[in-house]
Amino acid sequence: MRFSAKWRNGFGLFGFRLFPLPPGERAGVRGMRRGSDVAARASSPGGVGSVTLVGAGPGDPDLLTVAAVKALAAADVVLFDHLVGDGILDLAPPTAERICVGKRSGRHSLPQEQINTLMSQQALLGRRVVRLKGGDPMIFGRAGEEIDHLDALGIPVRVIPGITAALGCAASAGLSLTKRGVSRAVTFVTAHGRDGERFEPDWARLADPQGTLAIYMGREQARAVGAGLTGAGLPADTPVLAVENGCRPDERRFWTTLGAMAADGVAAGKGPTLLLIGEALRAREAANDLAGVGAVMMAGE
């Protein structure tokens, strides 16, 4: 049974172990409140709530931190992204309002300015607001803009980290992103900029033969990445692992090389896709007998 299914009906904390509580005791758990209690708190004069930016991790609810679970259980309102994994919202109380703000590559249902306003409006009503973000809030999550907005209004804000996609996908595939004598650095890059902004990174700076690259939201820019890095001097046979829907039941891994990716892109579908690139991957590629370009693996294989 998955974590969210086991604990979404309430929990107690003892150290780092979680124990389900009988229904009769749930009223005493912070966050398990009746709708009338939430309304009374929200309408209380002068009561300022708070905002917690919570990292939902790469998709699997089992990878949430204990702090994230506690914050969700105490939430009056949850503002969540498309990239939040199935089952994670179930950890919020039934009385909590859930609002999809829809941030996903190329599919933003609300501009960032409106998300900022919505967060502050809810907090100024006296509510405990959880801003639930895929991965880690501080990695390509625009958390800095949200914190600045809340600080300017005097609204208390807290950040709970989550496992970012690069680390989750690497762990799922059994990869170490660093390796003694092979890779001494890891660089995170986003392939998605502002609307209309061209993807033109400094390829010479990124083409470090002793480093590993993690390209977030990289599917649509895969050809450009392959061409840019080989053009800057990385060997065409440098291993690449594309991970679609990382740490989810439908995760797919596609092995290729920089040269092949420059010509053909990657065969990932429409799900969020991360590109891992570098010599640190080569041993794992060989261990999986995937020297041939174009091999696809499902999670768990």
Q: Which residues are catalytic?
A: 81, 103
Q: Please spell the DSSP secondary structure of 207-256, one letter per residue.
A: --TTEEEEEET-STTHHHHHHHHHHTT--TT-EEEEEESTTSTT-EEEEE
3-class DSSP assignment, residue 109: coil
Shortest CA distance to 251 belongs to which of 192, 169, 184, 175? Answer: 169
Q: How far apart are the first and last CA of the chain?
A: 21
> In the chain, which residue ranges form alpha helices assigned H by DSSP?
3-7, 35-42, 66-73, 112-124, 143-152, 165-172, 203-206, 222-231, 258-264, 282-287
In angstroms, the CA 151 to CA 155 distance is 6
Shortest CA distance to 202 belongs to which of 212, 189, 192, 214? Answer: 189
